[in-house]
Amino acid sequence: MVTWRTQSFGELNAPVADVLGARTAKDLEKLHIHTVGDLLRHLPRRYLSGTELTELATLTEGEHVAVMAKVSRTNVVNGGRNRPSRLEVTLTDGHGYLAVTFFGREHLVEYWQRELGKGVRGIFVGKVGRFRDSLQLTHPEFVMLDASGSIVGSSEKKQLIATMSRSALVGMYPATAKLPTWKVAECCRLALATLSGADDPWPEWVLDAADVMPLADAFAAVHQPRSLAEAQAGAERLRFDEAFATQLTMAYRRADASTHTAIPRRATSDGLLAALDAGLPFTLTEGQQVVSDTLFHELDRARPMQRLLQGEVGSGKTVVALRAMLAVVDAGGQCALLAPTEVLAQQHYATIRALMGDLAGGRLLGSPEVATDVVLLTGSLPAAAKREALLRAASGEAGIVIGTHALLHDKVQFADLGFIVIDEQHRFGVEQRGVLSDKASARPHVLVLTATPIPRSVAMTIFGDLDVSTLAELPSGRQVVGTVVVDAKRRPGWVERAWQRVVEEVGQGRQVFVVVPRIKSSDDGMGVVDLAAELSAVHLAGLRVGMLHGQLPSDVKEQTMAAFGAGDLDVLVATTVIEVGVDVPNATMMVIWDADRFGISQLHQLRGRIGRGAHPGVCLLISSALDDRTIEDRLGAVAATTDGFALAELDLVQRREGDVLGAEQSGGRSSLRLLSVLEHAEIIGIAKTIAAQAVQRDPARTTPGFQDAVTSIEQLAAGDWLELS
């Protein structure tokens, strides 16, 4: 969340303990609330309206309401030996009627009946339901008022509900067991009283351009609204603040990048790149050619490239990135490729060496004169191999260094680092890009790769400091992959048929992935260890079955993946360590166990591991949860199309951005506390435009509010990186 430290609103950065006490502050931590500003940005999920007279005829089913009405009658229905009793209450507004029902043991029902008889009118808070074609409230919160309008009895809950008789709207806040909504409301009221009405952190021209109210007014509007429109306008201002802080940070990053000088790396016509192109066993797609030309142009500038390359599964991002790397090596520079996992780093290493052939032989006897070293650097390398890799990187012998987080270590040095390729950027913090860049004498060019298609609203928010290129076209020869949903609960015979189908596929000389969402079995389902054992002993007996998951020793993972790639294993039972980058052309079938445990984009990524060779592929999505309509629709959508960009949009709709962006972009540390990239793309777009104007007006970032916003967002990014590394 954004923390404001400007003097004009210094009260917002005060710990909530200063205002509410240590005990309440401790309880608020569960809501990720630490400062007064955090608390005031903790908005109600909804507002209930309460007036002196509620027209019961205007109520609609599913609505959360606060009803002011008279108790017309009550009736107790005894439940008998094993059934609860119930209290039937009829409310009236003088014209219509509304049923209210309470269920409980006999003494509770008698207590509720006595309470309801104490007042002239009552306020009833709950959700309108329907029973036997009539609207009703079931177990609403309620408080009775006497003839003067005073509350009967006393409690924090009743006091809050009673305010509905005097105000138009009451907010219902996200709460916890220790801090129910009426307590949160009281906390917000006390916090609001601490503000001194100081100046707004944004200049007046920003407020005018965004058409939003001042911040102090916005806090009052969301916590003490006089109308729903006022509450919505206040929330709009607070959402704009989040969008503007993020976009302002991105805009200053872009401006900062434009001031740095990079060494131009011009592609030559007679070096590694030309030799690679001459030996490629396939023709580049038009999209690959266009993106490559863009990269070559930007590498040849004295300004550092800052580009994101997103592409469909199998669209050929790796070969595009490799061609750019070889252009840099031809121009005398070195390249680093940073991957999030050892499996993916090893796969990149194997793929690049296979594409380059003897061009990756370095100074080995018989290698071409233009050849360069390609080395792998991961945390699990033996000490001698690690020393050798470090030496080749530092001496400049290695034109391409591929690795994991190990590349960020202080001991890793380069002779002339000119180009950085980061795969799956969403798994890294922004700071890591900077750490690697600092290993270069001049600012290096940067290319970020992602195999997950990114909706525009997400790209604008998270990758707003990068230019974007897209590869949507698949290379010729990519095979069709058919996808079938298998209902394991209602059609258990289909699961056995799935394993028979695996045996048939292997019988034709092909290989199969079986993907499992967890390592060990639990109440949630079978894990990869137990499923691999069961398949080996029963369903796939006689086949060569291997197992791969993240907790295995690195050498075991490498050997297992190498064995599967070499065809020495028929079936690989694995977790999602094989999600991206793994390329085994002979793998034509994938069975995804408990497929409901994966999101749409992840299923699409997994499916992209098959059909990469000469034969069509088949993907089976096995689930025991298809009686859930949402899950059935999700898996059905994956089965219906292989368009990753369409699936990414649907994934964003179904899972919300907290999951899509990854943990480091959601939860308590996120700057997106109120903003939804799904619902508020228009606000983000407006904020981006105003942020660009802000950088033009104040390139030195002298405006205190601008300084504060950028510092806060950058600290969040640094914190995420520290937590992940």
Q: What residues contact residue 556 under an 8 Å CB cut-off, 6+ apart?
A: none
Q: What residues contact residue 385 under an 8 Å CB cut-off, 6+ apart?
A: none
Query: CA 558 to CA 101: how far, in whole Å?
Result: 64
- Map out the domains of the chain with their CATH numbers: 46-172 (2.40.50.140), 272-471 (3.40.50.300), 490-624 (3.40.50.300)
Q: Which residues of 73-102 are buried (b: 16+ CB within 10 A; e: fewer)?
A: ebeeeeeeeeeebbbebbbebeeeebbbbb
pLDDT tier for residue 725 given thresholds of 50, 70 and 90: very low
For the chain, how many residues are written? 725
pLDDT above 60 (res 346): yes
**pLDDT tens string 403-420:** 988 888 878 899 999 999
Q: What residues contact residue 441 under an 8 Å CB cut-off, 6+ apart?
A: 416, 417
pLDDT tier for residue 620 given thresholds of 50, 70 and 90: very high
Q: What residues contact residue 25 under an 8 Å CB cut-off, 6+ apart?
A: 15, 16, 17, 34
Q: What is the pLDDT of residue 477?
A: 62
Q: What is the pLDDT of residue 655?
A: 56
Structure tokens belonging to residue 522: 């639990």
Kindly tell me the sign of the dihedral angle through the C-alpha atoms of 717, 718, 722, 725: positive
Mean pLDDT of 265-288: 90
pLDDT above 70 (res 636): yes
Q: Which residues of 549-577 are buried (b: 16+ CB within 10 A; e: fewer)?
A: beebeeeebbebbeebbeeebbbbbbbbb
Q: What is the pLDDT of residue 580?
A: 60
Query: CA 405 to CA 166: how far, in whole Å?
Result: 59
Q: What is the pLDDT of residue 657?
A: 46
Structure tokens belonging to residue 546: 């291997």
Q: Is 14 helix (H, G, I), strand (E, B) or coil?
A: coil
φ and ψ of 275, to 5 deg: -65, -40
Residue predicted with more confidence, 588 or 577: 588
Query: CA 592 to CA 579: how far, in whole Å?
Result: 12
Query: CA 143 to CA 153: how far, in whole Å?
Result: 8
φ and ψ of 502, to 5 deg: -60, -45
Query: CA 251 to CA 232: how far, in whole Å?
Result: 28
**pLDDT tens string 317-335:** 889 999 999 999 999 999 9
Q: What residues contact residue 492 under an 8 Å CB cut-off, 6+ apart?
A: none
CA dihedral 226→228→232→233, nearest 10 degrees, is -40
Query: CA 166 to CA 492: how far, in whole Å?
Result: 60
- Side-chain half-sphere exposure of 277, counting CA atoms within 13 A: 18
Amino acid present at 640: A
Mean pLDDT of 348-374: 82
CA distances from 513 to 129, 491, 574, 622, 655 (A): 48, 22, 7, 13, 26
Range name among 75-89, 265-279, 534-548, 588-602 with the lowest pLDDT average: 75-89
Query: CA 486 to CA 492: how far, in whole Å?
Result: 9
Rg (CA), the chain: 31
Longest Cα separation, the chain = 102
Kindly tell me the sign of the dihedral angle through the C-alpha atoms of 410, 415, 419, 421: negative
**pLDDT tens string 437-449:** 777 778 899 998 8
Count Cβ atoms below 10 Å from residue 259 Cβ, excluding itself. Answer: 9
Query: CA 532 to CA 556: how far, in whole Å?
Result: 16
For residues 125 and 142, the answer to whether their CB atoms sit within 8 Å is: yes
**pLDDT tens string 179-212:** 777 788 888 988 888 887 667 889 999 999 999 9
**pLDDT tens string 662-695:** 333 333 334 567 777 667 778 888 999 999 999 9
Q: What is the pLDDT of residue 93?
A: 84
pLDDT above 90 (res 579): no
Mean confidence (pLDDT) of the chain: 83
pLDDT above 90 (res 13): no
Q: What is the pLDDT of residue 457?
A: 57
Mean pLDDT of 389-401: 93
**pLDDT tens string 57-111:** 888 888 777 677 889 889 998 877 778 888 999 999 888 899 999 998 888 888 8
Q: What is the DSSP letter of 214?
A: -
Range name among 34-43, 428-437, 675-684 with the lowest pLDDT average: 428-437
φ and ψ of 422, to 5 deg: -115, 120
Q: What is the pLDDT of residue 553?
A: 87
Structure tokens belonging to residue 267: 């592609």
Q: What residues contact residue 458 under an 8 Å CB cut-off, 6+ apart?
A: 652, 657, 660, 661, 677
Residue predicted with more confidence, 552 or 554: 552
Q: What residues contact residue 268 under an 8 Å CB cut-off, 6+ apart?
A: 274, 327, 330, 331
pTM for the complete prediction? 0.66
